[in-house]
Amino acid sequence: MNRTGKFIVLAALAIVLYSAWTVYQGAQGFNPPAIEDVKKRMQVDFAAKNMTVTEISMLRRSPRELAGFVKLKAQGSDEIQQKACTATMAKDNVTTSWSCQ
């Protein structure tokens, strides 16, 4: 194999390795089931405070951080409030916390 062929093979190998690393990094942190778990915990917590959740949207800002909002109504009210929310995941990929303001 000549130099050009070796270069092409090495370049292809580098691209494959980079792609695999990128996919691996994307799998770390919040995955769809973890995001749904956070949203469910948010809904349960607001229900315990007599608030009706009408919508929750949480999107991945980084592998271990979510950002979004919750729309809710107080009991006996038709007024919808919107609060900005964030969630973080600890390095153990298990422990999560969230807050809305």
Distance separating alpha carbons of residues 21 and 27, to the nearest angstrom? 10
The model's pLDDT over 59-85, given as tens digits with 9 standing for 90+, comes to 999 989 999 999 999 888 889 999 999
Q: What is the largest CA-CA distance in the chain?
A: 78
Percent of the chain with pLDDT over 90: 58
Residue 23 has pLDDT above 70, yes or no: no
Asked whether the beta carbons of 70 and 91 are under 8 A apart, the reply is no
Domain map of the chain by residue range? 29-100
